[in-house]
Chains A and B, each alone.
Chain A
Amino acid sequence: MSTQELVDREVIERVLALSLSKGGEFAEVFVEDRHTSSAMLDQRRVEELSSGRDRGAGIRVVIGDTTGFAHTADLSEEGLRAAALAAAMVARRGEGGTITVSLNTLSTFDTTAREPLGTVDKSRKIEALLRADDIARSTGAEITQVMVGLGESSRRILVANSDGLFAADHQVRTRFNVQCVAMGDTGMQTGYRPIAGTAGFEILTDEAVTEAARGAASAAITKLAARPAPSGDLPVVLAGGSGGILFHEACGHGLEADAVLKQASVYAGKAGQKVASDLVTLVDDGTTTGEWGYLAMDDEGRPASRNVLIEDGVLTDYMWDFLSARREGRTSSGNGRRQSYQHLPMVRMTNTYLVEGSETPEEIIAQTPRGVYVAQLGGGQVNTATGDFVFGMTEAFLIEDGKITAPLRECNLIGNGPEILQRVDAVASDFSMTPGTCGKDGQQVPVGTGQATMRLSGVTIGGTAA
């Protein structure tokens, strides 16, 4: 079923009119029909083949700075009218009179996935899981456990609002994770590699699956020899692709306009000011086809765009959704996203990356007498008001005399966003992206992060060794 057929145009126009009947200034209907499927291979057993479907609508009504919101799984006109009235409860200042809403011609976006969910035989999925398991185990006898997961989603969305906007998109995403456990004299260690894209099953080529399985297994085996990480301030070299999460946490969240407008970001009032080293040009870009954070349009019907946030160290702009932009009398930057129809949209990142520089990774490592080389970062967290952040090093090594030496046990890095931005002192040209899941106010959305190999002149390493 296509998105357009989920709810008739005339029904939506009547529901929008009803939404404004209590005095609301703006109303929006967001319809979503999402199919998901997952498969898990654990110790060579295929378990948890699961399929699911979520379908419903979220309706919001805005009056002044107040938003009313209701959602329903009932897509009949009756169900939508009930949700519209519930959302309109915030607009109790009076009657809106007789209102008519007429929608523009539907703008339709579509997926570029060649093998979206529903078109691939389940036995092919099982083959990919088993293949990853085989490769991981053949990497080394130390591998005692392999878990492989596949998740696919096909999400059709339809956005209509009282300004006449009427737009539909079909978003297809595929994610494949390999996790390995290696056993050695010092206990167990884990390794992890994801493959993910805003695309279909076609991204799981033999080469990609092999690389992920080998990578996860090798990482776990390497960490068996890990020694405790140092404690204290050291230069840190982040491998290409792995460190984008640093910028996502250290400044991305603080550049989201909702935090900025509430003066709850350390970057509020800093537009036009130097906030980072000259080497930092930071971009949020929803238009990078196929990347995990790619969108043709955001969840408010706004086409995605490429937004330069920091250019040569100067803060150029924040990221905006419909409401924050409306408050400032400007247009959204295409960053209004929501986890599902059951959630209100808010300002979210898409693919956030540091633009590459000109050095080589080898030069940067050779120019670092002592420090830490981070091959993979785990998740992170930031307090946007203070700028303090942490993120986990899941694969890291010591750098001694300009060479990568011993592997280190897992630990967190900690720092302050505005300070760390000043400490970027080398950026290479080996750019790559990593998929991630970003959580904000309880909502999870897929995002991409990226950078080339780069160095920070000093970061606090939260290890236990002197």
Chain B
Amino acid sequence: MSDLLSIADGVLARATGDEHVEVYVSSGTDTDVQAYQGEIEKLTTASSAGIGIRVLVDGPGGARIGTAWAGSLDDDAIADALRDARDNVRFATEDEFLAFAAPDGVGAADLALLDDGVAGTGLDDKIALAIDLERQVRSADPRIRQVEAATYSDYVAHAAIVSTNGIRATYARSGSYLSVEAIASDESGDQTGWGLSVGRAPSQLNPDQAAADAVRRATRMLGAVKPASMRGVAVFDPRTTSTLLAIIGGALSGTSVVRGRSFFADRLGDDVAASTFTLVDDPTDDRHFGASTYDGEGLACRRNVLIENGKLRGFVYDTESARRAGTVSTGSASRGGIAGSPSASCRALQLAPGSLSQEEILRAVGNGVFVESLTGVHSGVNPISGDFSVGITGLMIRDGQLAEPIREVTVASTLQRMLLDIQHVGGDVEWLPGVAAGQTIAISDIALSGS
């Protein structure tokens, strides 16, 4: 960690008087074990490091920024990156809104995101987790014909961000995952189910739950048919809700909003969702796997209320988008690793929980569709127009109970309508990896395309 800071400081020391420099340095280790038929199929152990440098030069019409990065921390690689970033500045357009973050006095939350258990657990134990997971799924049900992949993976990551503006942040995190994909089979054909468990260390993982999830999801899809087209209520399970929230979160990014590339642009203060819907981005809640102490520009992460009782309250901003919008950063800059420039994005979304369990929501809905997986999200959702059309698998809901499985069907609406059509928000919060936690929600008036 102090190594990363001293490398970053070494680059800052080379800044000339007429330029501002921001340096992001990261290093990490990864382990990945894939089990197949009781043996290790693939075992990857790796460490990596890299640096991203941004150089900013002020001019009469505003600032210009040039960027460069390198996938190593060798002296020559760093020197090349600094040279390339300076060269890239020359070709950028001056822009009055461009700036690096400046310290804003907000203190970072004290979060326990790095667990020694990842480094402290032996490789043999990690291998055993993957092999046991596969065995458990294979032996759980005679209809499980195959386990395509049972995987244990983990990481430890360290990063430092410093700038000539006075930014100085370091952070560290760890993560540990089990995932398994099961194939169930009977005379009607094959179906798949996916199970998952997440923690910050191996000891927090729950292999039983991951195995049971994969088996239940694969077996209950057996015999799935394509249903008749209809219009009605769709109940999204926590995983699919998490995917929906991540899409909504993308449209709440200040970077998209200030460019007019979000269906939420110009809607601040409007009722954009049902009154039961309150959405918060809170990276300071360390139950969330998106929690973080600092953002991608080295500002402290903070809690931001985005939609409150259905009313659009705010967006998340990084420094640039905030200046464009005439406001200040919400500590929400993200960067896609060393090669990415910061942009505003949600990182720890959660929906204020309702009071109903999933069973109670199903009973309240009576008849409809239960959505267990989504496909084609990257091709079927347009965050600018709000058009929404995705493939699903799931189960019919009849008389308040889960009934026959369905497949090869799409659900369609627009994101704008779906938010207003939310009928129920469940209390069954599930902390999932990714941008958003999940819980069961019910949305009315969805078009289902089948046969």
Do A and B assemble together? yes
Binary contact track B93-117/A, C-beta < 8 Å → 1, others 0:
1010000000000000000000000
Binary contact track B160-193/A, C-beta < 8 Å → 1, others 0:
0000000000000000000000010000011110
Q: Would you call A47 and B92 a contact (CB within 8 A)? A: yes
Q: Would you call B259 and A43 a contact (CB within 8 A)? A: yes
Q: Would you call B385 and A462 a contact (CB within 8 A)? A: no
Beyond A45-B95, A187-B386, A262-B36, list 20 extra A-B contacts (CB 8 Å): A44-B93, A48-B65, A52-B68, A64-B39, A66-B43, A71-B46, A73-B49, A86-B46, A122-B87, A122-B88, A190-B384, A231-B229, A264-B148, A381-B376, A389-B375, A389-B391, A390-B376, A391-B379, A414-B391, A462-B412
Q: Would you call B451 and A462 a contact (CB within 8 A)? A: no
User: Which residues of chain A are near B226, meaning CB under 8 Å?
Assistant: 460
Tell yes or no: B45 within 8 A of A by CB.
yes
Q: Which of these, B45, B92, B380, B413, contacts A412 with CB under 8 Å?
A: B380
Tell yes or no: B408 within 8 A of A by CB.
yes
Q: A52-B68, A462-B380 are in contact. Are A126 and B44 (CB under 8 A)?
A: no
Binary contact track B136-173/A, C-beta < 8 Å → 1, others 0:
00000000011010000000000000000000000000
Tell yes or no: B341 within 8 A of A by CB.
yes
Q: Which of these, A123, A190, A263, contacts B382 with CB under 8 Å?
A: A190
Q: Which of A67, A125, A414 has the most CB of B within 10 A?
A: A414
CA distance A259 to B49 in the complex (A): 33
Tell yes or no: B339 within 8 A of A by CB.
yes
Q: Which of B373-419 touch A at CB < 8 Å?
A: 375-376, 378-380, 382, 384-387, 389-391, 393, 407-413
User: Which residues of chain A are near B66, meaning CB under 8 Å?
Assistant: 49-50
Measured CB to CB, the closest approach of chain B to A262, in angstroms, equals: 6
Binary contact track A117-132/B, C-beta < 8 Å → 1, others 0:
0000011011000000
Nearest 8 interchain pairs by C-beta: A462-B410, A392-B379, A390-B376, A390-B391, A411-B389, A54-B71, A49-B88, A379-B379
Q: Would you call A190 and B447 a contact (CB within 8 A)? A: no
Closest residue on chain B to residue A43 by CB atoms:
B259
Q: A181-B384, A463-B447 are in contact. Are A73 and B391 (CB under 8 A)?
A: no
CA distance A193 to B448 in the complex (A): 30
Residues of B within 8 A of A (CB): 36-37, 39-49, 65-72, 74, 77, 80-81, 84-85, 87-93, 95, 123, 145-146, 148, 183, 189-192, 226, 229, 259-261, 263, 338-339, 341, 375-376, 378-380, 382, 384-387, 389-391, 393, 407-413, 447-451
Q: Would you call A262 and B148 a contact (CB within 8 A)? A: yes
Q: Which of these, B41, B70, B93, B379, contacts A52 with CB under 8 Å?
A: B70
Measured CB to CB, the closest approach of chain A to B66, in angstroms, equals: 6
Q: Which of A46, A51, A66, A86 has the most CB of B within 10 A?
A: A51
Q: Which of these, B42, B47, B67, contacts A50 with CB under 8 Å?
A: B67
User: Which residues of chain B are near A145, meaning CB under 8 Å?
Assistant: 259-261
- In the complex, 30 of the A-B residue pairs with CB atoms within 8 angstroms, ordered by the A residue number, are A43-B259, A45-B93, A46-B93, A48-B65, A49-B91, A51-B84, A52-B70, A53-B70, A69-B44, A73-B71, A122-B88, A145-B260, A189-B385, A233-B451, A262-B146, A344-B44, A377-B379, A379-B378, A380-B379, A381-B378, A383-B375, A386-B192, A388-B391, A388-B408, A389-B391, A409-B387, A410-B389, A414-B410, A416-B408, A464-B412
Q: Would you call A264 and B70 a contact (CB within 8 A)? A: no
Q: Would you call B449 and A414 a contact (CB within 8 A)? A: yes
CA distance A390 to B48 in the complex (A): 36
Q: Would you call B389 and A463 a contact (CB within 8 A)? A: yes
Q: Would you call A49 and B449 a contact (CB within 8 A)? A: no
User: Which residues of chain B are near A122, meaning CB under 8 Å?
Assistant: 87-88, 90-91
User: Which residues of chain B are near A389, meaning CB under 8 Å?
Assistant: 375, 391
Q: Would you call A73 and B192 a contact (CB within 8 A)? A: no
Q: Would you call B379 and A381 a contact (CB within 8 A)? A: yes
- Secondary structure class of chain B's binding surface, majority of residues: strand
User: Which residues of chain A are near B183, meaning CB under 8 Å?
Assistant: 263-264, 385
Q: Which of these, A50, A123, A379, contacts B339 with CB under 8 Å?
A: A50
Measured CB to CB, the closest approach of chain B to A136, in angstroms, equals: 16
Binary contact track A222-239/B, C-beta < 8 Å → 1, others 0:
000000010111000000
CA distance A255 to B408 in the complex (A): 20
Categorize the interface residue count of chain A. 35 or more
Tell yes or no: A19 within 8 A of B by CB.
no
Measured CB to CB, the closest approach of chain A to B37, in angstroms, equals: 8
User: Which residues of chain B are near A262, meaning CB under 8 Å?
Assistant: 36, 146, 148
CA distance A86 to B44 in the complex (A): 8
CA distance A73 to B49 in the complex (A): 8
Q: Would you call A52 and B69 a contact (CB within 8 A)? A: yes
CA distance A231 to B230 in the complex (A): 9
Q: Would you call A264 and B449 a contact (CB within 8 A)? A: no
Q: Would you call A411 and B41 a contact (CB within 8 A)? A: no
Closest residue on chain A to residue B98 by CB atoms:
A47
Q: Which of these, B123, B190, B260, B378, contacts A385 with CB under 8 Å?
A: B190
Tell yes or no: A108 within 8 A of B by CB.
no
CA distance A448 to B190 in the complex (A): 30
Q: A144-B260, A145-B260 are in contact. Are A66 and B41 (CB under 8 A)?
A: yes
Tell yes or no: A195 within 8 A of B by CB.
no
Q: Which of these, B41, B45, B80, B393, contacts A67 with CB under 8 Å?
A: B41
Q: Would you call A65 and B36 a contact (CB within 8 A)? A: yes
Q: Which of these, B80, B192, B376, B449, contacts A231 with CB under 8 Å?
A: B449
Tell yes or no: A213 within 8 A of B by CB.
no
Q: Which of these, A51, A90, A378, A392, contacts B43 with CB under 8 Å?
A: A90
User: Which residues of chain A are near B408, meaning CB under 8 Å?
Assistant: 388, 414-416, 460
CA distance A252 to B376 in the complex (A): 17
Q: Which of these, B49, B375, B409, B450, contacts A381 with CB under 8 Å?
A: B375
Measured CB to CB, the closest approach of chain B to A308, in angstroms, equals: 27
Q: Would you call B389 and A385 a contact (CB within 8 A)? A: no
Q: A51-B88, A181-B261 are in contact. Are A410 and B95 (CB under 8 A)?
A: no
Closest residue on chain A to residue B67 by CB atoms:
A50
User: Which residues of chain B are near A125, meaning CB under 8 Å?
Assistant: 91
Q: Would you call B391 and A86 a contact (CB within 8 A)? A: no
Tell yes or no: A296 within 8 A of B by CB.
no
Q: Would you call A66 and B379 a contact (CB within 8 A)? A: no
Binary contact track A275-305/B, C-beta < 8 Å → 1, others 0:
0000000000000000000000000000000
User: Which residues of chain B are near A416, meaning CB under 8 Å?
Assistant: 408
Q: Would you call B41 and A50 a contact (CB within 8 A)? A: no
Q: Would you call A391 and B93 a contact (CB within 8 A)? A: no
CA distance A443 to B450 in the complex (A): 32
Q: Would you call A47 and B65 a contact (CB within 8 A)? A: yes
Binary contact track A399-436/B, C-beta < 8 Å → 1, others 0:
00000000001111011100000000000000000000
CA distance A39 to B192 in the complex (A): 41
Measured CB to CB, the closest approach of chain A to B425, in angstroms, equals: 24
